Structure 1
Amino acid sequence: MTTLMNHVPSQISQILAIRDKFVEISKQSDEKLTAMIEAAKDFRSGMEPLKKEVDQLQTRVKNLQYCIEGLSHVQNFYKTGREVEQTIIQGPSVSLTNYLKAMDRIKDSLVYFDQNNTEHLEYTRLSTLLSNGLKSLHKYFDDILSQSFTPMPPDLLYTLAEKEDAISLGGTRINDTSAVPLECDSISEVYVSNVQEISTWLRKASSSVTSATVASAGEERRSHHHLARLFRMEVVDSASTEGYQLPPSLAQYCEFRKDLMRVTLVKLREYQKSLEKNAQSARGRPGSASSQLNISTAGKRRGLKAVGIVWDANSRRGVANDMRDVGDLDSEHYATSLSAFLVLIERERLLLDRLKLAVNSHESHFAYGLICRSSLSDLMTEGGSYVRLMGRVIGRGEFYMLVSLLTIMRRFIDLSPTFVETFKIVGTLSQPMTDLVNRFRTQIKATLDAFLQQLQPGTGSSQVPPDATVHELASNVLLFLEKLIDYELMVGMALTWEEARITPEATFPYLVTVNSKPKMARSAFGQYIFRVITSLVANIDKKAEVYSDDLSRIVFQMNNLRYILTDLKRTGLQSILNEYDNSAVDKFTRILNESKQVYTRAYVLDLFSDPFFLIFFIRSILPAPFNGVEKLQSRNRQKGQKLTSFLRPCSISDAICLTVPSKESGSSGTGGGVLRRFLVGAHPIHLAKARASLLSNSSLSDEVMGSQASLTTLSSAKMDSKERSQVKEIWNGINQGLASLLKQHSQLSIPDKELREDLRECLSRELVTLYQAFYDRSLQTPFTSRREKYIKLSPSEFQARLNQMFLPPAAQIAQSRS
């Protein structure tokens, strides 16, 4: 411890000595460092001028480099023409990539000359090269399109458009529509790449030129206009630009596809014509199956066309003077074109999506509109022709041509869902197609109304068939209604459109719902049938007034009414009519049955209306015995009134009036009074009521005859000469009346077998009963000793004569000869 303490002072002394030395060295270092700093400051101040000179030198070097590069670039502009001329001459087909690079050099060089020296000879050379290069590029683009796309084979397009109805030229049905290739799948990748590369270059080049032109001013803008014109663009101020300008490549593509679509639809028409021509040729070959050629139903596409489908030269006579160079207008071909048009639009959408030539949906919509423009215009023009022609032929009564409009309207309804979806892609189609559909719908309604109007009583020709058979008007009306059966949805839609209050914008959405509402359309069609038949019956009743005799009138009315009822049932119109009013047919049937009774009692009047015939049976009717001439004369003054009372209604002034004058009134009829007037009111339903009140439920023979017991009582009465003469006169009247009726009836025709049988049974029930009773009464009465002179026919022979009236004309002639 002591030793350690002894060393401490010495160590402290050493530490102090070291400290003093460090302080001394620090002072020396500060002095040297300060001197060095001062020296550095002096160096820096001396180097500043040198640094500025170096910076200036570097700037000059850079400027010199820029100048050298610019001169080299300018030299390249002046050399561009010589270097790329051969590439331009060879065209883009050799190497599209090198060709587009050469075009870029030409474009850049022209921009330089546009800005600096447009008077130089190289500028003209480059302009020519660019112009020729663009023409070659567009031609190559068009060649690629032509090589890649051709019109769709018409049989394939027909398959897609018609599906189940499609048949090939060989006559076999085409069912496999899934095998039809799509253009977007068949085009090669090389062609797709080349089209996209050309389109991209043209879009960028045009965009750069347009931007440079719009951004420039004055003389510089005018020079850029020249360059823009070379790219086939009209560059104007953005404020004055109207419409939407598609890029050149897309516009060229749309023009090509527009023409291709039009050619495709034309070839489809030619294919359909050749298809029908082959079917007609097959019809003329022996052994051809007739079932394959049955085209009576509108809408089938084989053999001959149903009437009204085609507007041929005969249908257009006198109404198409303003339609020059127009061939036959086939509504089925037009309907197929509508379907094919939508098929082609969908394929255009798929193809444009594959090629990616449009950069956005806005360009795509304009492209679709441009592609469809020509075909749409053709469809609109032809559709308008159908409407105009239909409006013009109404005046000459060719209503059957309405089938052409209904055929097309049916296709519009079937395609309405596709149209709705297509309008979302091609909005420009909506307005013209909506207008066309409404024109068709309006014309259909106007034609149906005009047809109904020309059936009103008193309209049309007053000519009637001499044999009182079915009038041509009735057969034409039923034939027209039968044609409409296949189009009941379209007819119902047209008739209920105004009631539904459909706005133009909702036209196609409403058409989509038409197929789901068949009951409403069927009921509307049924109401139209009822109105047509009602007007037809009233028209027929009015035409019946032309006949001078009442027998012809009533036979004419029954023939037509029976034909109407039979045809309604045969054609299926009755089931449609029942949708509107299931009692309508019963009403018309009741009218026919009442007409049969009027017909029967008219015969009774012709044969048994002699007043002396009444006297013979009055004893069986009166409660007191018949005595004295005065009472006989009193009855003579009322001759015919008893029987007439069975036929004359008491209080009907506007429906039916039957008058049976006696022989003293100057009647020209034979065999007693005849029917002189038969007037029918305006409405057949009123006619039914009038006839119902007219006819009695009991048999006329029962009313007149009384009881057989009363006749037996009269048989023992003695007759004076005057009474015997009267009985002879009655028999003469019956014989003459029967002969007259047979002769008159032989000039009439009742073609319907069932109607003939009904009338024969009615006459047998009424006339034979009366004849039998009077025959028996006469045999019991001693009015002559030579009964065969007056009673020429037995009841069975009388029945045979009546039956003869209802034999067909040929049978009547054969029977008369035998």
Structure 2
Amino acid sequence: MEDNSEKLDKAIKSLDAFKDLLNKSDLQTRQMSVILDNFSERLSRLEQTIQPVYKETGNLQTVQQNIVSTLERLDYVIKFYTVANEVEANITTGPNDSLDIYIKNLDRLKEAIDYFELNNHDSPELMNVSALYEKGGNCIEREFRQLLARHSVAVPPVLIYDLVHEEDNQDNEESDKTILEQLPEKARDELRQLAQWLCVHKNDDFITVYANLRSEVLLKSLQGLRDHQKSCSGGFNINTINMSHSSPAMSRKNVSQFRESSAVRRTPKSIQQALMKKLQDVIPGDVLGNKSNQTTLEVIKDELSISEREIVGYLTCVTALYKLMQSELKLMNGVISIEHQRPIFSRLVYPSLESVVGEGEQLANRVKKCVVRQDFSSALCLFPILRHQASMRHNFDILFDGCNLEVQSKFQGLVVTLQTTISRSLEEFIDYIKSDVNTKVPKDGTVHQLTSNVMIFIVQLLEYLDILSRVITVTDIHSLENSSDKNRLAFAQYITRILSALGLTLQNKCEFYNDSHLKAIFKLNNTHYILKTLRKSNLLNIVEMYNPEIELVYEEQMLDAKRIYSQSWSRILHYVLEMDKPFSQQRTLPEMNNMANMKLKDKDRQNIKDKFAGFNKEIEEIQRIQTAFAIPDLELRENLKNENKDYIIPKYKLFFDKYVNIDFTKNVDKYIKYTPERVAVIIDSFFDSTA
């Protein structure tokens, strides 16, 4: 119980202490509340005091901002009123010192014009800045024209030759160097700035200025190249032409050699020799050496040597035009904005393009006139041009991409003209062969001039086999469609038509010979010449694609001609074979040997005399006639002689041995004039007069 009493006393004491603490806390809370109320009252009084000052400060700040804004506006407007006086001196003198400053001043004038037009379009200042701006714009345009004209110089011919014959892997590098030489980097930068300003702030007159000036430079460059080619003496090799212009690239070594003109240019005589060698590679040399065909070859050589220089010059101009146009486009990339490039480029290149295409059309027209005069070899001069155009068509298509239709179709029109001209010439050549009514034939039966001309023409066409299907009129379209090599098959059809027409014409010309044996020699010469040319030039393989039996036909014609010719020996054989007697009555050699010492009757002796006399007369007559015959081909000539000897000598030897030991006359030398060996010598003398 005592413990409980103590615990109760402690609890009561603790409770009294807690009450005292509560009382103190209440007192402090009341004191703090009083303090806070006083602070709040004082803040309210302070706010009432500060509020007017705050409002006044805000008003002052607004006034200050308005003043600053007004000053800025005044500065913005005032510069439009003062800009004319500030830039007038610079605008009047032009952009001589600094183009950047001049353009900035023009931009300030343009800004003033825009301001006055928007806010005060009746202001006299608008007239001032507009007039000054127009004057500055004219100065910019004039500066653009003068700067471009100052650096627009025609490209020298030597540099053009470098462009034409540069190596493919150095193409871009060389072209860039060409541009830098025409326009220095500083000039290009200034032109670009001027063009950009004119494009944005001025009309499009600068487009016309640029197109006209650069077009004139392009024309002058090409004309300088033409004049240089005309002033150069000598000529070029046609094979080199075809190689260099099927691919415009040429080795740097050859370019260096080209500059040394005196060392590389060939004289007309050397050109003729080169052509002669080339033709002899595929044309039987004996025929080319024949005097009756010499005139024809000279005409062909002269025609090729004259046209050759022109064709070389033209092909060089075409390639030069492409390179120069390519250079102009690259130059334009650094000066003219891309949206104006193609319109300017179309106007820039068209005059030069028209000039080069017109030159090509003139060549085609000249060929047409030559064909009218039956000079068909001139049509061959157009093949290098057509081939060159075909090889460069893709390059031109890429270059003219985006240009107007007139520019894009210009070269294609020339290609059509060339193809039409060549095609008509080839067809007229066949008509010419068919309609040849010349009654003159070689007196010696050699190869006819027409045959020589035709085969030389066909052989020369072989060089352009890769493009013949474009110009040859195909008669058998079905076979062409099924062929994997249309060029060769088209050429085979054309050769077949030519050879058919030539065969008919030669057959007609045979009728002008009175001597059937000379007629046979004429047929043999021409047929052999045709066949040998076909074989040697590899044309036979082409023709056999369409006419597999062509070789067999010509061989049969040659055999038939030889058979007819062999009949010229019939009168000799009449005496040698004792054809006046039946074979049963002819004595054999052993019988005649037994009769060597027998006394012959006068009739028998006279018969033997008549045989020898007749043989002597006929062998002399045939020698006289056939010595005048000509077989220009050495192999054919020797073969025919050997065939004659194999045909005659054994028979004559049998006849000679039969009677040589018989005493049928006292004057032996009168009748036995020719031994078999002597007859062989006589036969060897045949066909030698013009061979």
The normalised TM-score by structure 1 is: 0.62
1:120 & 1:28 partners in 2: Cα distance? 69
Alignment-derived partner of residue 330 in structure 1:
310
CA 1:181–1:488 in structure 2 vs 1: closer, same or farther (change >3 Å)? Answer: same
1:547 & 1:566 partners in 2: Cα distance? 24
Q: What whole-Å deviation, never above 9, does each CA across 1:123-155 have from its counterpart, x for those lacking one?
A: 776666445433432232233334545333322
- Counterparts of 1:274-285 in structure 2, within 5 Å, are 274-277=231-234
- Counterparts of 1:9-24 in structure 2, within 5 Å, are 12=22
* Secondary structure, aligned partner of 2:146: helix
Alignment-derived partner of residue 225 in structure 2:
268
CA 1:297–1:439 in structure 2 vs 1: closer, same or farther (change >3 Å)? Answer: farther
- Out of 310, 331, 348, which is 1:371 matched to? 348
Alignment-derived partner of residue 177 in structure 2:
182
| Cα distance, 1:738 vs structure 2 | 4.0
- Counterparts of 1:186-265 in structure 2, within 5 Å, are 187-205=183-201, 231-233=202-204, 249=206, 252-265=209-222
Alignment-derived partner of residue 749 in structure 1:
630
- Out of 598, 618, 628, which is 2:583 matched to? 618
| Cα distance, 1:332 vs structure 2 | 1.8
Unaligned runs of 5+ in 1: 166-174, 206-230, 234-247, 299-303, 313-327, 502-516, 622-705, 811-818
1:260 & 1:149 partners in 2: Cα distance? 6
Alignment-derived partner of residue 447 in structure 2:
470
2:670 & 2:654 partners in 1: Cα distance? 19
Whether contact under 8 Å (1:109, 1:126) holds in the other structure is yes
Match of 2:336, as an amino acid?
L
1:12 & 1:52 partners in 2: Cα distance? 52
- Counterparts of 1:79-94 in structure 2, within 5 Å, are 80=84, 82-94=85-97
* Secondary structure, aligned partner of 1:199: helix
* Secondary structure, aligned partner of 1:616: coil
| Cα distance, 1:342 vs structure 2 | 2.7
Whether contact under 8 Å (1:399, 1:451) holds in the other structure is yes
Alignment-derived partner of residue 557 in structure 2:
591
* Secondary structure, aligned partner of 1:150: coil
2:582 & 2:356 partners in 1: Cα distance? 81
Whether contact under 8 Å (2:489, 2:546) holds in the other structure is yes
* Secondary structure, aligned partner of 2:581: helix
1:497 & 1:734 partners in 2: Cα distance? 57
| Cα distance, 1:381 vs structure 2 | 1.8
Aligned residue pairs, count: 629
Alignment-derived partner of residue 517 in structure 2:
551
| Cα distance, 1:330 vs structure 2 | 1.7
* Secondary structure, aligned partner of 2:579: helix
The two structures, once aligned, show a CA RMSD in angstroms of 5.4
Alignment-derived partner of residue 560 in structure 1:
526
Whether contact under 8 Å (2:236, 2:312) holds in the other structure is no
2:610 & 2:261 partners in 1: Cα distance? 68
1:582 & 1:732 partners in 2: Cα distance? 51
Q: What whole-Å deviation, never above 9, does each CA across 1:611-669 have from its counterpart, x for those lacking one?
A: 99523243258xxxxxxxxxxxxxxxxxxxxxxxxxxxxxxxxxxxxxxxxxxxxxxxx
Q: What whole-Å deviation, never above 9, does each CA across 1:154-177 have from its counterpart, x for those lacking one?
A: 223213323589xxxxxxxxx999
Alignment-derived partner of residue 241 in structure 1:
none
Q: What whole-Å deviation, never above 9, does each CA across 1:334-380 have from its counterpart, x for those lacking one?
A: 21222223323333343334x1632x4x5444444333322222222
Higher relative contact order (CA 8 A, sep 6+): 2
| Cα distance, 1:395 vs structure 2 | 2.8
1:278 & 1:755 partners in 2: Cα distance? 38
Whether contact under 8 Å (1:383, 1:436) holds in the other structure is yes
| Cα distance, 1:477 vs structure 2 | 1.5
Whether contact under 8 Å (1:331, 1:408) holds in the other structure is yes
1:538 and 2:518 are equivalent in the alignment = no
Unaligned runs of 5+ in 2: 1-9, 238-258, 276-298, 479-483
339-348 or 362-371, which deviates more: 362-371
| Cα distance, 1:543 vs structure 2 | 0.8
Alignment-derived partner of residue 165 in structure 2:
162
The normalised TM-score by structure 2 is: 0.72
CA 1:35–1:466 in structure 2 vs 1: closer, same or farther (change >3 Å)? Answer: same
CA 1:9–1:767 in structure 2 vs 1: closer, same or farther (change >3 Å)? Answer: closer
725-734 or 585-594, which deviates more: 725-734
1:499 & 1:87 partners in 2: Cα distance? 79
Alignment-derived partner of residue 134 in structure 1:
137
Alignment-derived partner of residue 100 in structure 2:
97
1:777 & 1:616 partners in 2: Cα distance? 16
Whether contact under 8 Å (2:367, 2:379) holds in the other structure is yes
| Cα distance, 1:401 vs structure 2 | 1.0
CA 1:371–1:733 in structure 2 vs 1: closer, same or farther (change >3 Å)? Answer: same
- Counterparts of 1:412-423 in structure 2, within 5 Å, are 412-416=389-393, 418-419=395-396, 421-422=398-399
Alignment-derived partner of residue 508 in structure 1:
none
Match of 1:153, as an amino acid?
P
Whether contact under 8 Å (2:571, 2:618) holds in the other structure is yes
CA 1:752–1:183 in structure 2 vs 1: closer, same or farther (change >3 Å)? Answer: closer
| Cα distance, 1:473 vs structure 2 | 0.7
Q: What whole-Å deviation, never above 9, does each CA across 1:534-556 have from its counterpart, x for those lacking one?
A: 43233222211111221321222
1:486 & 1:308 partners in 2: Cα distance? 17
Q: What whole-Å deviation, never above 9, does each CA across 1:515-571 have from its counterpart, x for those lacking one?
A: xx9x76456545544543443233222211111221321222223233334444565
2:199 & 2:192 partners in 1: Cα distance? 10
1:384 & 1:753 partners in 2: Cα distance? 45
Whether contact under 8 Å (2:354, 2:410) holds in the other structure is no
CA 1:31–1:95 in structure 2 vs 1: closer, same or farther (change >3 Å)? Answer: closer
CA 1:436–1:285 in structure 2 vs 1: closer, same or farther (change >3 Å)? Answer: closer
- Out of 561, 566, 569, which is 1:600 matched to? 566
- Out of 352, 357, 365, which is 2:332 matched to? 352
Q: What whole-Å deviation, never above 9, does each CA across 1:586-635 have from its counterpart, x for those lacking one?
A: 6434432442232122x1234445899523243258xxxxxxxxxxxxxx
1:285 & 1:386 partners in 2: Cα distance? 28
2:366 & 2:98 partners in 1: Cα distance? 57
Match of 2:381, as an amino acid?
S
